[in-house]
Amino acid sequence: MSSTHLYRHAIELTREAKPFVLAAVIDAVGSTPQRAGANAIIEPTGKIWGTLGGGCLEAESRQRALKTLDEGEPGVFDLKLDEVTGWDDGLICGGRVRIFVNPAAQKNVKVYEDALAAQENHESGMLTTVISHPSHDRGSAFWTRESEIAEGKHALFGGQEKDVIDRLHQGRAGAMTSNAASETATELYLEPILSAPKLIIAGGGHIGQAVCQLGSLSGFDVTVIDDRPSFANRTCHPDATETICGDIASELASQKVTTNTYILIVTRGHRHDGAVLAACAASKARYIGMIGSRRKSLLIRKSLIEEGLATREEIERVVSPIGLAIGAQTVQEIAVSIVAQLIAVRRQGRLDAEAMNYLPAGLKP
């Protein structure tokens, strides 16, 4: 059960006035059954939704969770998996885990609802649960959109916003501590709530079709735009979430573009590529890539700057040529190289070394 499905279940149980404990692996070091981010709902009957790793680890967590349910107070405990005696399943992983159990998660239902609503609206952010904090109760949760984190609008993170953003982009859950040796020591459990990244493909030709298929398989929510009816339909792009037929630049300009949006420009000619790039160069898109040679890229970039349609800073973040350098030749291989680059940006938060040199010599200082 994914985190979002788990929180939906928590909301349902709360509406039905049924008690439960929300448990999570907030830190894991070494060899462990689950990494930080694994979570579960434990009901009074002992029934578990989700998983913390199974076996003795889950049994121990369930026992402690049910105890907190009786006491009504959230708890946190650490286990070293090669020093626990009396377990009969042979679990001697050698790692260490930190588990948080919260029998009062019902109080956070509005926060969970806000996080899920934002996700459905293609917004990403951080769901933060307090483990220890001088100003907030243990177990209290907060939902913060990525834009609000970047702007430092929530004092909860105590100047660690860059770390929080990095964790968000990497989809990495886990504990974050600060001022460990002081009276203001804090420990927060950060859990990224990510919407499916939106991939807008400007151009529904052969490359666009292949990228649409692979992009959808890789977890992207794909929209294809083309001005030709024969290339902008569900028959041509069965894996697309949406297909739009119309002027490509105008339709792209009307799309909602966030920091979780990836734009791929693969139209049928220089003129169309330039118009589309002009329509999105100033957007918040996390990735803008344009197919073509370095010479073509240079001409289009220079033209947009000279005509005042884009700034140098906007142009310099456009990836062109696109795709990883894997020697791709066929349409399918080119699509693989492009989608691999999109995944690298999504998961690693950066371009590969080869793509960092995308700026043509004619535009370099």
What integer best gives the mean pLDDT of the chain?
86
Domain ranges of the chain: 3-106, 108-193, 198-363
Binned at pLDDT 50, 70 and 90, residue 364 comes out as: very low
| Weakest mean pLDDT among 78-92, 172-186, 204-218 | 78-92
CB 222 within 8 A of CB 158: no
| Weakest mean pLDDT among 83-87, 186-190, 336-340, 351-355 | 83-87
Q: What is the pLDDT of residue 79?
A: 82
Q: How much is the average pLDDT of 109-130?
A: 92
Q: What is the pLDDT of residue 104?
A: 92
Domain 198-363 fold: Rossmann fold (3.40.50)
Of 177, 191, 167, 175, nearest to 50 by C-alpha is 191
Q: What is the pLDDT of residue 52?
A: 84
Q: What is the pLDDT of residue 351?
A: 66
Which percentage of the chain shows pLDDT scores above 70? 89
Q: Is 312 exposed, middle or buried (0-12, 13-18, 19+ CB in 10 A)?
A: exposed
Q: What is the pLDDT of residues 54-85, one digit of tens each?
A: 777 788 888 888 899 888 899 999 887 665 54
Q: Which residue has the higher pLDDT, 20 or 182?
A: 20
Q: What is the pLDDT of residues 236-267, one digit of tens each?
A: 999 999 999 999 999 999 999 988 899 999 99
Residue 297 to residues 211, 278, 310: CA-CA distances in angstroms?
20, 13, 14
Residue 290 to residues 78, 203, 211, 358: CA-CA distances in angstroms?
49, 11, 13, 11
Q: What is the pLDDT of residue 224?
A: 97
